[in-house]
Chain A
Amino acid sequence: MEITDREIWVTLHGFLGAGFILAFTGAFVGLWGVRPGVVALHDVRARVPLLMAGMWGMAAIAWLTAIVGTYVIFPWYRSPPPPGVADFSGYPSYLLLSDPDTKLFHKLGMELKENWGWMVPILTTAVAFVATYYGPRLAHEQRMRQLLMGLLLLAFGIASVVGIFGILASKAAPVQ
C-alpha cells in the first residue's frame, strides 16, 4: 500500500482541522474559567498567557487549514478530466456530480466548505485579538467574555460542519 503526496496533504489538512476542533474545548473552558471569585489573582495571571497562546494557536491552525485546503487540495478536487475520459475516479468534483446520490455533497457540502472554511480563521483571530487586548481584565468583562465564548462556539460549529462535509466528500470521492 502506498500513500500518495495528495493523500499526505489531505491527511495533514484533516489533522489540522481536527486539531482546531480538539483545541476548542480547552479555549472555551479557559475563557469560562477566567472570572473573579472562582480563580484567584495569581491563577488569573497564570492562566491568561496560556489562554492567549491557545487562542492564537487555534487561529494559526485555522488559517493553515484554510490555506492548505484552498490552495493545495482544492485544485486537485476541482480539476477537470481530459476530454473523452469517462472514468472520473481521479476527478473528485466530477465524480460527485456524476452520481445523483452524491451530487449534493458537491452542490451543498463542498460549496459550504469552500466558503465557511475561511470564516473560521477570521472569527477565531478576532476572538484571539480581543482576548489579548483585555488580558487579565477579561476576568471583569463578563459581557465581553460571554461574547467571545459565543463567537468561539460559532467558529467551532462552523468548523464542525465544514469538517463533516469534508469527511463525507472525501469518503465518496477521495482526492488521490
Chain B
Amino acid sequence: MPSLGSSPEPQSSEVHATLGDSAIADASALTRRRLGLPPAATHVAEESVQAVPNGPAVAALLGAALGVFAMGVMFKLSHSRSDLAQWLVFREQVGALSGLSTMAGVVWVSSWALLTVPLWKRSVPLLPVVAIAGLLIALGLLLTVPQISERIEL
C-alpha cells in the first residue's frame, strides 16, 4: 500500500471545486487517490446498468397518487352525500373511515395493477408523470381538509 506522502499533490482545480455534486465526487476521488485506493466506480457493473423500462415504477407512483386522490374525493363525497357516508361504514365502531381507507386501498392496488399491464415493458417521459402524480396527491390532500372540502361543490 503506498504511503500517504507518495500520493500526488492535488491540482488547484481539484481543490477549488465549487460545492455541489461534482465537488463531492471530486473530493471523493481526491481522497481515494491520496489514500492509495482504487478510483471509485463511476458506474455500476455492466449487467446492473442495463436500462430497465420505467413503466412499472411509473405505474406504482401513479397508483399511489390515485389512491391518495380517491381518498380525498371519497371524503368529500361522503360529507355531501349521506347515502355514501352510510355505505362507507364497513365497521360500525370505526364509522365511515373504515370504508374510506379500505376503498382508497382498493383504488390504489387496482389502479397500480391495471397501469402495470400496459406499462410493464415501456418507458415513458417522467416529467408528465411527476406533474400528474403531484396534482393528484395535492388534490387528495386538499380535499381531505374539511374547511376546504366544505367549500367545493361536486
Contact = CB atoms under 8 A, between A and B. Distances in A.
Nearest to A43: B40
A41 interface: yes
Given A38-B40, A70-B97, A78-B95, A130 B48 contact: no
A41 B137 CA distance: 35
Interface in B78-126: 91, 93-95, 97-98, 100-101, 104-105, 108, 126
B15 interface: no
Given A37-B29, A37-B40, A116-B141, A122 B48 contact: no
A129 interface: yes
B144 A44 contact: no
B94 A135 contact: no
Interface residues of B, number: 47
Contact of A70 (B71, B101, B141): B101
A11 interface: no
A108 B94 contact: no
Contact of A135 (B28, B48, B91): B48
Contacts of A36: 25, 40-44
Interface of A: 35-41, 43-44, 66, 70-71, 74-75, 78-79, 107-108, 111-112, 114-116, 118-119, 122-123, 125-126, 129-130, 133-137, 139-141, 143-144, 147, 151, 154, 158
